[in-house]
Structure 1
Amino acid sequence: MEAIGRAAGDVAGVRLFGPADLGGSPRSTVLRCRTARGGSVVVKAFGTGPEALRGFAAEAAGLSLRLAGPELLGVDASIPLLVMTDLGNAPTLADVLLGDDPEAAREGLLAWAHGLGRLAAESVHRRADLARLWTTYGRGLPSWEEEPWITQDAAALLMLLSGAGIAVPPGLAGELTLIGAVGEDGYPAFTPGDTCPDNNLLTPDGLRLLDFESACYQSVFLTAAYCRMPFSTCWCVFTLPAGLAEEIEQTYRAEVAAVYPALAEDAVWQAGIRRAIAVWTVNATVALLPRTAEGDRPLHPTRRPVQTMRQLLRHRWEMASTLEEFPAFAETMRLLLRKTAGEWQVAALPGYPAFGG
């Protein structure tokens, strides 16, 4: 940590001391360091493996757009590391959703949806800038936008079903191709990539986004699906009160429809959202189902309350089983529900604690 602090001080042009570990991930170390001027900054240092380097490139490029997140104070691509302004210890959206104040939770959700929508709208014309910045920081690695993850997930699902002895309904492969077209629908916008509740600070100055390690341009529907599912790739998943999911979805939609007027048409919006739900359900299935083979486990190692992987999967499958415009896919979801019903014996997802559970 001391070595990281010294290197970060050189980048920021100020002496740093007293590094405090804020956590991070297998790819990165995150420190809060005090400055000689009495303030503090946040330093994020990355590993040297391919995924860590891609995370660094995405975060450096995404923050350099200066559209959202903390202010970028310096970058050292040789280490690599970033120095950012310290946004303090404001509660996250996860904190208020798991708390006991329903109004704070509702306001947090609306701030989240409004902030993401505004970011998407403001970013529409900056795609070339992000590509240029990736060239600067990416060391020749493919960007997240170039990653064919939707196609890879579809292939993985077919293999997973075969390995589980589930007969694939006729037409499923073709439907997965149609579903995957949500990534090519002509409505791209910038996203930090991980817009889960714990990466959203509710500061006195409004919503501030954290974690740009997967920053890219993607279909606005893939972000909007987080409102309806909710939180497509996250651990902090409970159910929302009737009407609130729709309210936050419409808040996001109003922002993006200002730059993509076709999204004001219900037929266009609903078709896109439903394809995105299918994409994220496939993603969750291939990521989590193999990990439940030997038993259930919590979605987060330390945060409580939290649901289990099997609870989340059944919740996702139940929602996706209603996508009757894709009959083979919907039937696949019902097959998964039937196959796991007896053995898993898990409760349905409860509501978020802030709204009474």
Structure 2
Amino acid sequence: MGLGWLDDAAFVLGTELSLDEVLRDGVRTSVARCWVDGSTVASQGAHTVIAKCFHSKAMAHNSGGFGIVREWAGLATIPGAPQMLAADLDLGVIVMADLGEVTTLADVLGGSDPDAAVEAGRAWGRGLGATMRGADVATFRRLVRTADPQTLSAGGPASPRLPGRGASRLADLLDDGVLSEEATAEVGLFAELAGGDDAVLTQADPCPGNIVIPADAPDATFIDFEASSVHHPAVDVAHLQVPWVSCDDSGQVNGTFRDAAMAGYREVGPAVSDDMIALAATAATLQTTELSLEPLQRRDAPGRFGSGRQRLVSRWRWVADHPGRTPQLALMCGRAADLAVQEWGWPSELETVPCFAQMTRT
């Protein structure tokens, strides 16, 4: 994508900007660090800012999925988010404070210090729990409704139908034809993940590169708020138990890391049952199945810590081993994993992240 959108960002902020560094340039969004060349009043004295552009103007006011409405509302209502300095939903640009060079959980996991990774896991759990306790659900919903009066979810789960479609895709893959009555009933349980009275508001995309580990504070913070949503706490806690269950950057970690992440969460976060965590992990796995199975059958997809085929097989295995309230869907996931490994030759194990792989080799 070109960088003409930086002129829109400068217009929205009300001062001159020039490019310092492109941080991400994708089909859906672009993110850049910019110098403030004009007055720094609008940037509150800062000489650099982060500008983000959502390229599809047709989606500008669509709050049903990833988009500027959720990012704008999330930045305004979720504690610890970067300060939003200016935004224009019609132009599709947001300008926010520059956090500078930060250490993310991806950086720690890609290093060589397992003890630092365990402490970072605890900070992630604590930061997640603190976010749930402090985020302003009511204001987030009001902002979404204001920006998108036609919204059906008012900031609820972004793609609630995808897990059901993923289950149907598995039925086709396994030559079952259609979902059984039992499996269909289990898919209906995913409606509980909307949260009801238990609903919380989070950034909802806790990939390792989106989790900021502070040097001098016990709680992690987050970046990238375009998936912000209101949902049951289990939707996020599932990532702690099955690290990054719907993220392309997921890798295998050890039990010490998972225990530390869950312990950090329990210090401050709302209580969540094991059954609800398993339900959320199953829904996330089926959503990934719907989105990625077909392209992965054509070719593998590399990630920071492992390939797409490794990730999908490992998630199917986890669901199969944790049936909870969805035993029929768990059985289907187990059969899919066996098929992929035994007949397609897909890898059976997810790669261990570098900091813990060091322990395995020594």
- TM-score, normalised to structure 1, is 0.86
Matched residue, 1:28: 29
Identify the residue that residue 296 of structure 2 maps to in structure 1: 292
User: Hey, what's the Cα distance between the residues in 2 that align with 1:233 and 1:274?
Assistant: 14
Query: What are the equivalent positions in structure 2 for 1:108-127 lying under 5 Å apart?
Result: 108-123=120-135, 126-127=136-137
Contact 1:144 1:215 in 2 (8 A): no
Aligned to 1:318: 317
Following TM superposition, by how much is the alpha carbon of 1:86 offset from its aligned partner in structure 2, in angstroms? 0.5
1:282 matched to which residue of 2?
286
Q: Aligned pair count?
A: 341
The farther-off stretch of 169-178 and 188-197 is: 169-178
Between the aligned partners of 1:77 and 1:235, the Cα distance in structure 2 is 28
- CA 1:169–1:339 in 2, change beyond 3 Å: closer, same or farther? farther
Taking the TM superposition and a 5 Å limit, the aligned residue runs for 1:1-357 are 3-36=4-37, 39-51=47-59, 53-54=61-62, 55-65=67-77, 67-123=79-135, 126-138=136-148, 140-142=150-152, 145-146=155-156, 149-166=159-176, 168=179, 171-184=182-195, 186-204=197-215, 206=217, 207-257=220-270, 263=271, 269-298=273-302, 300=303, 303=304, 306-325=305-324, 326-342=326-342, 343-356=344-357
| Residue 92 of structure 1, CA deviation | 1.5
Please tell me whether the aligned partners of residues 246 and 285 of structure 2 are also in contact (alpha carbons under 8 angstroms).
Answer: no
Shift of 1:70: 0.8
CA separation of 1:76 and 1:327: change in aligned 2, threshold 3 A: closer
Task: Report the Cα distance in structure 1 between the residues aligned to 2:174 and 2:299, rounded to whole angstroms.
Answer: 15
Matched residue SS, 1:149: coil
Distance 1:32 1:104, change over 3 A: same
Question: Structure 1: which 5+ runs fail to align?
Answer: 258-262
Deviations 1:57-101 (A, max 9, x none): 111111112522211111123312111110112121111111112
Matched letter for residue 231 of structure 2:
Q
Secondary structure of residue in 2 paired with 1:18: strand
The AA in structure 2 aligned to 1:229 is V
Preserved CA contact (<8 Å) 2:156 2:194: no
SS of 1:17's equivalent in the other structure is strand
Contact 1:40 1:86 in 2 (8 A): yes
Shift of residue 211, structure 1, vs aligned partner: 0.7
Q: 1:109 to 1:50 in 2, by over 3 A?
A: farther
Single out whichever of 77-86 and 216-225 deviates more from structure 2. 77-86
Partner of 1:260: none
Cα distance 1:133–1:114, how it changes in 2: closer, same or farther (>3 A)?
same
> Against the structure 1 CA distance between its residues 166 and 133, is the aligned structure 2 distance closer, same or farther, given a 3 Å change threshold?
same
| Contact 1:224 1:253 survives alignment (8 Å) | no
Cα 1:76–1:211 change in 2 (3 A) is same
The whole-number CA distance in structure 1 between the counterparts of 2:246 and 2:15 is 38
Contact in 2 for aligned 1:192/1:214 (Cα 8 Å): yes
- CA deviation profile, 1:116-169 (whole Å, cap 9, x unmatched): 11010112xx22201221133336455573457333421342144225524655
Gap runs ≥5 in structure 2: 41-45
Q: What are the Cα deviations for residues 303-323 of structure 1, in whole angstroms up to 9, with x where unaligned?
A: 4xx312221111111111123
The root-mean-square deviation of aligned C-alpha atoms, in Å, is: 2.5
**For the structure 1 residues 216 and 140, does the alpha-carbon distance in structure 2 shift closer, same or farther, using more than 3 Å as the test?**
same
Q: Distance in 1 between matches of 2:18 and 2:114?
A: 40
Q: As a proportion of its length, which structure holds more helix?
A: 1
Q: 1:191-233: per-residue Cα shift (whole Å, max 9, x none)?
A: 1121111112234455331111111111100000000101121
AA paired with 1:250? A
Q: Could you tell me which amino acid in structure 1 is paired with residue 311 of structure 2?
A: L
Q: Deviations over 1:23-59 (max 9, x none)?
A: 1432222121112357100111222344455411111
Change (3 A) 1:291 1:278: same
Tell me if structure 2 keeps the 8 A contact 1:63–1:212.
yes
The one-letter code of the counterpart of 1:323 is: H
Which residue type is aligned with residue 286 of structure 1? Answer: E
